[in-house]
Structure 1
Amino acid sequence: MDLDAKVGVLLPTVRAQWTAGDDPRQVVRLAVEAERLGYDSVWANDSVLTPRIEALTVLTAAAAMTERVTVGTATLMPVTRRPVNAAHSLASLDLLSGGRLVVGVGAGFPGRFGVPLHRLSEVPWERRFARLDETVALWRRLWSADEPVTFHGDVLQLDDVPPTIRPHTAGGPPIWLGGSTPAALERTGRLYDGWLPYPPRADDYATGLKVVQQSGRDVTSALFVSVAITDSLAEGEDRLRGYARTNYGMDLEDLRTIQAVVAGPPSHVTEYLRAYVDAGATHLVCRLAAAGLDDYRRQLELLAATVNT
């Protein structure tokens, strides 16, 4: 079934997604395969807390080996990088991809992944949202500047920063915000180019999107969702249980309270995804619930056949 939405896939960059004997270099070749199968985008997520290929590194390699697909971060954690260095890296990637970069960003959330990430990055957890917004504002200034930039925000204080190399995209690549709290919705509509949440219910997505759209700005509406195609619902549930334990260290029932996840026969998966498209999602970023790179490749083929028929 044609979902009338763009569909992309998260590349399996995390070591927990590989099995014995997998060659990590195949991750980039999977981006090429995704383009061949008709996907619109390939994505990489970002963390220093679990072993994985660094997001901008793998996307640069993927961009060099593809011609059409968008390459994106879902999501990048700017707190792990110096703001000026990150602006340089992102501008370089956008330039080398010919303007195919989308930068999804997040500020982290309390618990297992948030505070420890800030501690390792030697950045205070407090005022993380202001730091993120100011980092993005600084990037945009640097991507458009011809003269040294002075930036004095509430968190970032920088003087006479040399402008970075110009990205391919005028003004810099689009920046999408992940998050669905009331504050994140308001900031998305006011400051960002796209919205990339993962609410577990389509009606929650519709409600959040209405808030984002109140700004009147043109904001891309995307969805991050974990997906697997299986022969039966029971097999899908078993697959998702293993996926939740391996990738998140939690039970499937707990994961379902915070994230969009679906597995089962093609008709079940399309019905689930269709509900989000009907709620306003125009770009689906799918994390394939796969165990090993061969299994990922099979899921890549199955999902392509599901959403394109």
Structure 2
Amino acid sequence: MTHALPSASPAPSAPSAPSVPVGDVAPGPSAHRGAALPPAVDPAGHDDALRLGVFVPTPLAQWAPGDGPRDVVDFGVRAERTGFDSLWVTDSLLTPRIEALTALTALASATERVTLGTGTLLPALRPPVTAAQTIASVDQLSGGRLVLAVGAGFPGSFGAPVYAMAGTPWPRRFTRLDETVTLWRRLWTGEGPVSFHGEVLHFDDIAPATPAFRPQGPPIWLGGATPAAHARAGRLYDGWLPYPPDPADYGTGLASIRSSAAAAGRSDAAFAPALFVNVLLTNAADGGRTELDAYARATYGRPVEEMERIQANAAGTPEAVVEKLGRYVDAGARHLVFRIAAPDIAGQRAQLDGLAGLRALLDKPAELRARLDKPAATRAR
């Protein structure tokens, strides 16, 4: 879901987005940066608490001259100390980046409590048995903090080149994805030998594999927002990480997933509804439109007008961002995963405190939030 589209000519970099004070919004708990952080209550997000996550800038296109892998890890550490609940990485072969599972291994050793996630991992890029071992190892090294959001890639001419680079057939990709997930869960028990025969994957007598930290393995969420994806998410997966531009479509999709889960005899409580959203706090007169366009062109080689038809965006003042994100929360999203639409690591880092502080408004009932997200002068009338 999050790998890059085929690149066009690079666009000029936009200036770093300024860090915007959040006004009446309480800041994140950055004052406690020297204190030990408690472990996450539920990395999968099944306890209905509102969670905030952030993508770590692993793509090299987001690095300024002089930036390096250490800055990526430091960004993750700072995000944890600022109060974020989860750190996320993207997966692609089309543009240079620190590989997703490698990056999570580094973050696992540098952090203490945050959930570590992929958004989204493309299993088709890796041999399934090898990937099962790598994922189980990351889950072990993180102490069970791993969550995998997986997908089959962008459709058609956007996704097919990635499969070709990986040497994986493009047809039957959704069946391949679901069978890979089913095989992983069997391998992560550590029992064996395991034989598996699906419609696409066929294995005989796989030796006992590296067990995951948790007996059932890490939670696996599905990206995608088509009716077929909704049905598969409810039937097989533990959560949902889409990026629909319209909050109403999020609510409709989540209702469809819950219906599919009920038909499969699965509990609604065992499902984590999340959202992938591009965000930017800015006081720019155009509400961050210029910065979003520069980010879309640098990331995908496409203008924001094209990308906003398929991806969720929330940019502008804190009040404007809360208004947009709040509509997704009202539609049922409980884990908001921010991809900061600033052009470099420094610009993204400057946004962390303000974004973490949005939780104070987003975690309120809709009617109260609507009053609180207005400027103070408006509320006084």
Which bin holds the TM-score, normalised by the shorter protein? over 0.9
Equivalent residue number for residue 321 of structure 2: 269
AA aligned opposite 2:187 = L
Of 142-151 and 153-162, the range deviating more from structure 2: 142-151
Matched, 1:25 2:74: no
Q: Separation in 2 of the partners of 1:286 and 1:170?
A: 30
CA gap of 1:29–1:308, structure 2 versus 1, over 3 A, is: farther
Instruction: Find runs of 4+ consecutive structure 1 residues off by over 6 angstroms.
Output: none
Equivalent residue number for residue 211 of structure 1: 256
AA aligned opposite 1:180 = A
Matched, 1:234 2:234: no
**TM value normalised by structure 1:** 0.97
**TM value normalised by structure 2:** 0.79
Equivalent residue number for residue 296 of structure 1: 348
Q: Separation in 1 of the partners of 2:157 and 2:74?
A: 31
Equivalent pair of 1:233/1:265 in contact (CA under 8 Å): no
Q: Separation in 1 of the partners of 2:154 and 2:170?
A: 10
Equivalent residue number for residue 86 of structure 1: 131
Alpha-carbon distance, 1:176 to partner: 0.2
Equivalent residue number for residue 35 of structure 2: none
CA gap of 1:112–1:53, structure 2 versus 1, over 3 A, is: farther
| Number of corresponding residues | 309
Equivalent pair of 1:45/1:74 in contact (CA under 8 Å): yes
AA aligned opposite 1:270 = V
- Three-state SS of the structure 2 residue aligned to 1:250 is coil
Matches for 1:31-42 after TM superposition, within 5 Å: 31-42=76-87
Alpha-carbon distance, 1:219 to partner: 1.4
AA aligned opposite 1:32 = V
Q: Which has the higher contact order (CA 8 A, sep 6+)?
A: 2
RMSD (Å) for aligned C-alpha atoms: 1.5
Equivalent pair of 2:239/2:273 in contact (CA under 8 Å): yes
Equivalent residue number for residue 9 of structure 1: 54
Deviations 1:109-128 (A, max 9, x none): 22453100110111110000
Q: Separation in 2 of the partners of 1:305 and 1:232?
A: 20
Q: Separation in 1 of the partners of 2:197 and 2:228?
A: 23
AA aligned opposite 1:285 = V
Alpha-carbon distance, 1:304 to partner: 1.5
Deviations 1:23-73 (A, max 9, x none): 232101111101100000000010011000000011111011111000000
Q: Separation in 2 of the partners of 1:87 and 1:198?
A: 26
Of 142-151 and 71-80, the range deviating more from structure 2: 142-151
Matched, 1:258 2:310: yes
Equivalent pair of 2:287/2:317 in contact (CA under 8 Å): no
Q: Separation in 2 of the partners of 1:172 and 1:113?
A: 31
CA gap of 1:160–1:233, structure 2 versus 1, over 3 A, is: farther
Q: Separation in 2 of the partners of 1:222 and 1:243?
A: 23
Q: Separation in 2 of the partners of 1:302 and 1:290?
A: 14
Matched, 1:108 2:153: yes
Equivalent residue number for residue 138 of structure 1: 183
